[in-house]
Amino acid sequence: MRTVRLTTAQAIIRFLRAQQVERDGARLPFFAGCFGIFGHGNVAGIGQALQQTPEFRYYQTRNEQAMVHTAAAFAKMHNRLRAFACTTSIGPGATNMLTAAAGATINRLPVLLLPGDIFARRNVAPVLQQLEQPYSQDLSVNDCFKPISRYWDRINRPEQIIRALPEAMRVLTSPAETGAVTLSLPQDVQAEAYDYPAAFFEERSWPIARPHPDPALLERAVEWIIASQQPLIIAGGGVIYSEATEALRELAEATGIPVAETQAGKGALRYDHPLALGAMGVTGTPGANILGREADLVIGVGTRYSDFTTASKTAFQNPEVRFLNINIAEFDAFKHAALPLVADARAALGALAGVLKGYRVPEHYRARAEKFNREWDAEVSRLYNLEHGPPISQAEVIGAVNRIAGERDVVVCAAGSLPGDLHKLWRTRHPKGYHLEYGYSCMGYEIAGGLGVKLAAPDREVYVMVGDGSYLMMNSEIVTSLQEGYKLTVVLIDNHGFSSIGGLSQSLGSGGFGTRYRYRNPETGQLDGDLLLVDFAANARSLGAAVHSATDLPALASALEQARAEPRTTVIVVETDPEERVPGYESWWDVPVAEVSEMAEVKAARREYQSARSRERDHL
């Protein structure tokens, strides 16, 4: 057997280069390269291997958490058919990845993590940045990745990668199991050499299958649909990942079943399709939430039914409601005591369309759904054109960005009040035009995620919408975007604090405590003094970005036009009124209120909370 003598790190990079993925007859390289920051735990191992392998591109980032966000966004944009590796040193470099690794796993996005680890041979312990425990020497900070990884391994001998890397690939390429995969690499083992079988580095293609639904369950699903009078489809991220948007449109048009969308599923149907109800749940539209409340059959396609989708189990109130779930993951398919079609979304929707020929919902039901679509479009236009302020409203900012964005351009966001407003108001015209990280809703994802989107789709304009809170947490990847020549347009909304939680706090009787950017008031001892003003324009300019500031809609429109023509990353700073909010529509979210309090506002909020919570249902 022919062998190749390589270090463990060199062998890992050579193996990753050879991995392909295949779906529907199309094959492409799975890994696009490696993000990394080097320290003593990986510079002479993975770092050296990357240095001698320029065809496996290395990207230098500024923050370890950010690089995993970027990798996750890239994978999402590619419908999980491509991915990045991320390498760090042992210690804080590794643990900085934890937050974003959790986000990747929660959002079911493939990311390969290669953190350095403590010495396998142990004789020089404790090494710099080592966490010691008196009850075990087989422990490091990398064990923190175990609960947030879909596969975790520690490579204590060079030959172990022969078994570990294929297992890592199996998980990374599984639509049902994918997420963060962690291979902890002791720094001494990274540099050790071994005679690896040459066959280990031959090109390998991992097929992404499209499982079809069980025939007997499909037959029962058809019976349920035909028996229903008010069915509703809830399109989740699985519709987009499986490239099933056309199949969904055809099924909706043939049957008249209206479609509501989760955050991950937004864009599954164009906003102007007559049967598109828009957002479902806590951040939903009136039509979606009213028909959800009345539905006798909920057809969930590729959704995991988060509390925002189900409005904390208050969304579906019909006493006779049943659930039919189409999902590649068995875990999600069985939720809500559903009839489970464990299958690829495109395959299942096509199968349903084939056996539902001739079925139509009652005409009055279809007409009602189309009326909701028209009424919501008028409400969006109203909110886009409030003529509020100055400062202007956040809804008007969204409208301005939506108007300038092309059909294939992408809006990126993650946290704060923006995701809820975007879920309601953004007019989606392309399945990949709306990119929200809302499984973890991680502050700081926005700019890093925007970079990942741009890496995946360099021909599209990418609009990163970010609040001042998230911007201050992580703006470092502006520098990376400039270094690599990937232009972003960052619309930075300055509302002087944490607007989303501020509004939530007010609704819970706490008056926005601790959510505003204000100086400490010596008279009250609280953070309720004068506004704490931050010069965001100067900050962005210091990082190398082109910068514009806007105080009204004409100035914002002009800045957006200039940014579109700008070849480098541009930051547009616009102040908004934090109290001019987009209304809630027919929905509620379970956030517990203090059961006892000395504050009258909290007592009142608790009474309202108890009343609303009484509508929560267990779907058994």
Q: What is the pLDDT of residue 389?
A: 87
397, two tokens: 């900012």
% of the chain residues with pLDDT over 70: 100
Please say if the pLDDT value at position 130 is more than 90: no
CATH number of 386-496+533-575: 3.40.50.970
pLDDT mean across residues, the chain:
96
The enclosing H or E element of 29 equals: strand 26-29
| pLDDT band (50, 70, 90) for residue 500 | confident
Q: Does domain 3-207 have CATH number 3.40.50.970?
A: yes
Distance CA 498, CA 331 (A): 35
Tell me: the pLDDT tens digits for 55-80?
Answer: 999 999 999 999 999 999 999 999 99
Helix locations, 78-179, DSSP H: 92-95, 98-106, 161-172
- For 495-616, list the strands marked E by DSSP: 546-550, 570-575
Any idea which residue has 């066959």 for tokens? Answer: 199
Q: What is the pLDDT of residue 170?
A: 98
Considering only CA atoms, which of 25, 31, 36 is closest in space to residue 66? 36
Tell me: the pLDDT tens digits for 550-586?
Answer: 999 999 999 999 999 999 999 999 999 999 999 999 9
Q: What is the pLDDT of residue 499?
A: 85
Task: State the average pLDDT over residues 362-379.
Answer: 98
In the chain, what is the greatest distance between 2 CA atoms, to the nearest angstrom? 80
Single-letter code of the amino acid located at 126? P
Considering only CA atoms, which of 285, 339, 264, 343 is closest in space to residue 619? 339
Contacts of residue 373, defined as CB under 8 A and 6 or more positions apart, other chains included, come to: 272, 273, 274, 275, 276, 277, 278, 287
Tell me: the pLDDT tens digits for 182-237?
Answer: 999 999 999 999 999 999 999 999 999 999 999 999 999 999 999 999 999 999 99
33, two tokens: 């390269």
Phi–psi pair at 232, nearest 5 degrees: -140, 130
29, two tokens: 């390289």
Question: Residues spanned by CATH 3.40.50.1220 within the chain?
Answer: 215-376
Contact 560, 572 (CB under 8 A): yes
Question: Residues spanned by CATH 3.40.50.970 within the chain?
Answer: 3-207, 386-496+533-575
How do beta strands 339-342 and 546-550 pair?
unpaired
Look at the alpha carbons of 91, 93, 95, 96 in this order and tell me if their dihedral is positive or negative.
positive
CATH H-level superfamily of 215-376: TPP-binding domain (3.40.50.1220)
Tell me: the pLDDT tens digits for 166-184?
Answer: 999 999 999 999 999 999 9
Phi–psi pair at 324, nearest 5 degrees: -120, 115
Contact 225, 356 (CB under 8 A): yes
Q: What is the pLDDT of residue 480?
A: 98
